[in-house]
Amino acid sequence: MNRQVKQVLGLSAFAAGCMALGMGLSHGWQAQAQEEKPVMVETKGMDRLPPIADVAEKLNPTVVAITNTSFVKNQRFEHPQIGGEDFFDFFFGPGGPQQRRTPRGGNDEQRAVSGGSGVIISPQGEILTNYHVIASMGASDNALEVKTSDGRSFKATVLGKDKELDIALIKIDAAHLPFAKLGESDSLRIGEWVVAIGNPFGLEHTVTQGIISAKGRKLDTGVSSFLQTDAAINRGNSGGPLLNLKGEVVGINTAINPAGQNIGFAVPISQVNRILKDLRSGKPVSRGYLGVGPTDLDQAYQDALGVKEGVVVSTVEKGQAADKAGVQRLDVITAVDGHPVRSQDELVSVISSRRAGETIKLSVWRDGKTLTLTATLGDRKALEAQRRGDSGEDSEDESGQKPQGEAKSLNLDKLYGFTVEPMDVKHRLKGVVVTSVDPRSPAAERGMAPGMVITEVGRQPVNSLAEFNAQVKKAGGRTLLLFIQSPNGSQKVTLAIPPR
């Protein structure tokens, strides 16, 4: 009897174990299946359309049409971000309804009429628009006229302007005007709904809708980091507001890509907010300057420097804020005041949003260690003066002599795709000169070209071909970090050249 009981108990325990194992495996399979589900979005609220009609109805009265009339003599205006051609031709169209030029008197003088949009930001008649909309094409006889949504016209005066950001603040003599609230653009998400209002082709108070297509777009080398939107922006929208669904201004529409479809750009309102005090005072905009040449931390730099995020310091300008703070070439700036920076555009945007004289904390990665450096920002206006001071050309060696007893060049072409030779004896720069670059090599992809002068490998100066060879051998076939200058020393950059 006892034996039968034991057998029954044993079989029961075995069955229970199998059930537990089966449940465990089932639970594991279920968990695995859950982890492999496709990415989905909550559908809550998707049965309602965004309140674009409400935004249009309430914000339309805050948008104005701006007309700029002046008399010019064959003068052309270059937009700070695009330049080259007359920006009014680019944005408003040659001979279009927003721009008319007629002869007036002799000496090829013309009457120029241009237009754009603006948004009222105070009940006392302060209006934000683009610098290029109000840029004086003539002199003292320039006339600026603003037309409100109720059909009234006012003469406007310029309170402040910033050509670099392409923003201006103007004012009309009026009170109790409907005005828009300035929001903030830093927290905008890609794909968020936005509304544009303006006067394209003279069609006043045109409303278009779309989304934020991208953030941090660069049109050129200016300090602006633009919002990209597919809300239809056309010639004449320039200076008008880009609004979120709360009706807050998140950008000032400023440019289009004429070769594309619905590719428009707006100055983020967060950047405008930072200079609004300067614009209201009429003083020149104060913009901080660090004095480094930033480079994105791509895979080659990551492998060479041993860090995954940040911005590489390619050059450091002598006497500027970074130099005084102890920043060195090939440092990696990972954060400013504790906020991470992941691209050179992000770093430029952060620094230029600060005022000259402000103190910032830089988190820097150097030789496997994180350092905190304190920098007092200089004035960005000193940039051009500094560059002009650095661009003086010294005479090169006219004899064409090479140093006596110089070492033979290593066979770099096979490993890296370029060749070098010693500098002329009397040349101001010390180092080696690049003589050829294989167009299919990593060196060519990185921008190396014949005539460039290599003055440092890593942080080590190389005054001769022998010293250059020694540093290349130390690299052991890994990525070369080369400090390169133009023959006259005016252009400087650090290049990371990986092996083939």
Beta strands in 173-263 (DSSP E): 193-198, 206-217, 226-229, 241-243, 249-256
Considering the candidates 114, 132, 224, 349, report the single residue annotated as catalytic.
Answer: 132
Distance separating alpha carbons of residues 261 and 251, to the nearest angstrom: 20
Show the tokens assigned to 321. 């804020």
H-helix segments, 218-309: 269-281, 299-305
Taking CA atoms, 486 is separated from 392, 433, 451, 458, 466, in Å, by: 12, 10, 7, 18, 21
Determine the residue type at 416.
Y
Tally Cβ neighbours within 10 Å of residue 351: 27
| Residue 166 is a catalytic residue | yes
How many Å separate Cα 128 from the centre of its chain? 22
What lies within 8 Å, CB to CB, of 390 at 6+ separation is 317, 489, 490
Distance separating alpha carbons of residues 429 and 453, to the nearest angstrom: 8
| Residue 186 is a catalytic residue | no
Considering the candidates 224, 238, 349, 441, report the single residue annotated as catalytic.
Answer: 238
Q: Residue 195 in contact with residue 53, Cβ under 8 Å?
A: no
Ramachandran angles phi, psi of 141, nearest 5°: -90, 10
Show the tokens assigned to 268. 């983020």
Show the tokens assigned to 356. 């000259």
HSE-up of residue 150 (Cα within 13 Å, Cβ side): 6
Distance separating alpha carbons of residues 332 and 406, to the nearest angstrom: 35
> Across-strand partners of 172?
156
Q: Residue 319 in contact with residue 333, Cβ under 8 Å?
A: no
Considering the candidates 70, 114, 117, 166, report the single residue annotated as catalytic.
Answer: 166
Distance separating alpha carbons of residues 90 and 256, to the nearest angstrom: 9
Could you report how far apart the first and last alpha carbons of the chain are, in Å? 82
HSE-up of residue 402 (Cα within 13 Å, Cβ side): 12
Q: Residue 282 in contact with residue 276, Cβ under 8 Å?
A: no
| Residue 323 is a catalytic residue | no
Ramachandran angles phi, psi of 339, nearest 5°: -95, 120
Catalytic residues: 132, 166, 238
